[in-house]
Each structure stands twice: as C-alpha cells, then as structure tokens.
Structure 1
Amino acid sequence: MVRSPNGLANAVTVLLALVIAVDVFAVHAGLNIHALLGNLLSTTRHELAQGDDLYGLSGTLQLVCTLATAAVFIVWFHRVRVNAEGFARDVCTMHRAWAVGAWFVPIGNLWLPYRFAKEVWDASAQSTAGGAWREVSHRRVTAWWTTWIAALAVDRVGASLYKNAETPQALQQATSVVMLSDLLDIAAAALGILFVRKLSRMQQANPGS
C-alpha cells in the first residue's frame, strides 16, 4: 500500500535546512579561529580560548544535527522504497531492508545507498507513466550523492590535518580544509532538499497515494 511520504519529507527538509544553518555558523567560527591563528602577536589568550570554544561548539552542533537528520532521512528513505514497490516492483532489485542497512556497510556505504536511491527514483517515475516505461534523468540524485561524498572525504582530510597539527600554520591549513568540507556539506544539504522534495512529489502524484 502506497503511503504519502510528505510528512517525513517535510521533517527531513527542516532538518537539512538546520544543517545548512549550523554549517554556516561553523564556517563563521572557522574564519574566526583562522584569523586569530594568523595574528597571534596581537591575539590574547582569552580571545584564542573564546575562538576555540566557538569552534568546538560549532562541531558539536554539527554532530547533533547530522545524527538527527540521518535518523529521520533513513526513515523517509525506507518509506519511499516501500512505496516504490507499488509503482514498479521489478525495478527494485535490492531488498527494502537495504534502505537502512546500506548506510552501515563499510566501504559499501559509499555507493550502495546511491544505487538504492536510483532504483527508487526510477520506480517512482513510473507512478504517472500510464503503463509505458518512463525514462528519467539521474542528474539530481547523482549531484546530491557526489557532493555529499566529496564533503565526507574532505572532512576526513581536514580532521586528520587538525589532529596532527603542531604549529599555528598547520592549524590554519587544517581549518581551511575543514571549512571547505563545511561549504561542500552546505551544497550537499541543499541538493538533498531538492532530491527529497522531488522524489516525494513523484510518489505523491500517484492516484493511490
């Protein structure tokens, strides 16, 4: 039975918008600590401590928002996958349990959710096809996934540089890389909103929804 994904889609949209807001705050905190590290001669210990606290707070907020968004997104992802069976069951080659499991497979989670998303996208496109096969572009799915993976990769590099930094210059470099990952994450969240809204509209267009 096809169930409307709109309620979950709205919740995911709000959370992704919150992720964007927190990432913007993180970029601001990063720019602040980057400037302080570049001007240590005129920076007091108090200012440096405040900057570090602000940067730490932004990281904590990012973690909390990411976990909350991931939880709701996976619930929505499972819902649209179950719905997809009602539109084109033969397209859905991966079991619906992979809507959750694909995210927790080491290495495989770099591409399995993307493959799963494409199947759901193709199946949902048939909701208004009138029995004929409807070809659809995967550009929106690919743009979201590619940007998100890029953000993760750059973040890993930035975290490693930050952990091993032993000089103010090294900390500045690490901060710059982390800020780049934040900017990529903003783009990925925005593209994620477009992906979620579009896929949900595709499924809602079905008369049985």
Structure 2
Amino acid sequence: MLPTPTEWSIPRWISVLVRSLLGCQVLISLLGVAYYLVGLDSWRQEGSGGDPSADASVLHDLHLVLGEPAVTLYTLTGIAFIVWLRKARSAAEFISPDATLDTPAWTVACWVIPIGTYFLPYQVVRKIWLASEPRGQQPAAGPVRSPLVLTWWLLFVVARLSGGLVVEIPAQFSVGGHEVMDGVLAGCDLVRAAAAVLAMVLVHRLGTLQQARAAQLFSRLPGQPAPAPQL
C-alpha cells in the first residue's frame, strides 16, 4: 500500500513558515529602499541649506532598530528554506521515482560549498522542479520548462553579491558623494526584495506542481485517494 499524502508531501506548516519569513524579508528590504530614496532627497535639502525630512529621520531610526533582527531573520529564513527544500526533494523522489535527483545530504551541503554555493543549489532546485512537474498526455512528452527557477536564482546571487556593498548607515546626514551610494544601496535592497518575492512564488508553485503530479500518479492506481491541495 502506498503512503498517504501526509506521509510524503511537504508539511504545510513548513511552506507557510518559509513564505512568512520571506515576506518579512520583503518588508525589511522595501523599508531599506524607502530609507535610501528619502535619504537622497534629504541630502539634497541639506545641501541647499534645509534640514533632513521628518520621514527620513523616522526611516533612519527604523532601519537602525531592525538592523540586528534582520540578520537573524535572514539566517532563520535560510535554515527554514533548506529544510523545506529537503522535504521537497523527498516528495519529488516519491512522485517521480525515475527522476535524477541529488542525494538528501547534497541538497543541504551544496549551500555551504565555497564558490559552488553560487551555482550548485540552482542545479539541485532545478532537478526537484523538473521532477515535480506533471507529465504531458503523451508518454514521450517532457516537462514544461519554466524560467521561474533561473530568474529567482539570478536575483538571489545578485542579492548575495550586493551584500558586500552594504555599509553602516551614518548617524547624521551629510553632503558629499552620498547620492550615488544611496542609489546603489536602494538598488541592492530592491533586488533582495524581488528575490524574496520570487522565492515565495517558488515555494507555493512547487508545492502546487507536486500535488498535481501526485494526482496523476494516484489516478492510475485504483482505490487510492487523490492528494489534498496545499494552500
């Protein structure tokens, strides 16, 4: 007797947790974008003899308060995402036993390999995605290729590389070369927000694909209930 969906599918709470943490990352990144853009305007005002706007001061305080919690949030999100990916790999192995997948240990270890961390996880996620896509009506039909995984990974790598550009926000606004730096930092936060949004879509979409693929599998077996859809 085949295992029930609750025994092989990704636990719903893990998917919800990962998407919630990613949503918090989006909010913090967008806050950074707003801070730097408002800061640009404030420096121009100060250069003209004015004072930084009240909005800029509020955003500055929020950015300082959320600085350390944001680092913890990124770490927790990374751990939760890897746990989710490990579960997704197990589900993909069940619904597509003929698929070529990396080992469970490599699914985790690939994220900490020096240099390889910039391309190895993409290969792992791509294999899981391809194994999770429903098959076509014809046996020879291959899985439909999606640009989602590649787009997400490119944004993720750019976001990681841009992390080296982040510097401590000065306690006071000052004039002289800050406009360019703030524009760059705002762009970095915007890329991080976009990568997090696509990661949320990836988590939801992969779960949906695996449910559809499992429905195909169970439909061929008499007496087997179709898996319940994930939210």
TM category, shorter: 0.7 to 0.9
Residue of structure 2 aligned with 1:151, choices 148, 159, 163: 159
Change (3 A) 1:48 1:110: same
Check if 1:104 corresponds to 2:112: yes
Moved more, 8-17 or 52-61: 52-61
The Cα of 1:113 is off from its aligned counterpart by 0.6
TM-score (norm 1): 0.81
Change (3 A) 1:81 1:153: same
Instruction: Confirm or deny: 8 A CA contact 1:84 1:124 kept in the other structure.
Output: yes
How does 1:142-181 map onto structure 2 within 5 Å? 142-156=150-164, 158-159=165-166, 168-181=175-188
Counterpart of 1:62, as a letter, is: A
Change (3 A) 1:34 1:56: farther
The Cα of 1:49 is off from its aligned counterpart by 7.3
Q: Cα deviations across residues 109-151 of structure 1 (Å, max 9, x unaligned)?
A: 1111100001101111257879666322131111111122122
How does 1:8-19 map onto structure 2 within 5 Å? 8-19=14-25
Distance, in Å, in 1 between the alignment partners of 2:162 and 2:60 is: 21
Change (3 A) 1:18 1:127: farther
Query: Paired residue for 2:223?
Result: none
Residue of structure 2 aligned with 1:198, choices 191, 202, 205: 205
Query: Paired residue for 1:35?
Result: 41
Query: Paired residue for 1:4?
Result: 9
How does 1:54-203 map onto structure 2 within 5 Å? 54-126=62-134, 134-156=142-164, 158-159=165-166, 168-203=175-210
The Cα of 1:184 is off from its aligned counterpart by 1.2
User: Larger radius of gyration, structure 1 or 2?
Assistant: 2
The Cα of 1:42 is off from its aligned counterpart by 2.6
CA RMSD of aligned residues (A): 3.1
Instruction: Confirm or deny: 8 A CA contact 2:42 2:56 kept in the other structure.
Output: yes
Distance, in Å, in 2 between the alignment partners of 1:83 and 1:95 is: 13
Change (3 A) 1:115 1:32: same
Q: Which structure's residues are more often helix, by fraction?
A: 1
Check if 1:23 corresponds to 2:21: no
Q: Cα deviations across residues 42-93 of structure 1 (Å, max 9, x unaligned)?
A: 337x998766444333433432332222121111000001122113344334
Counterpart of 1:122, as a letter, is: L
TM-score (norm 2): 0.74
Q: Cα deviations across residues 136-171 of structure 1 (Å, max 9, x unaligned)?
A: 213111111112212223332x326989xxx74333
Unaligned runs of 5+ in 1: none
Distance, in Å, in 2 between the alignment partners of 1:136 and 1:47 is: 47
Paired residue total = 204
Change (3 A) 1:99 1:128: farther
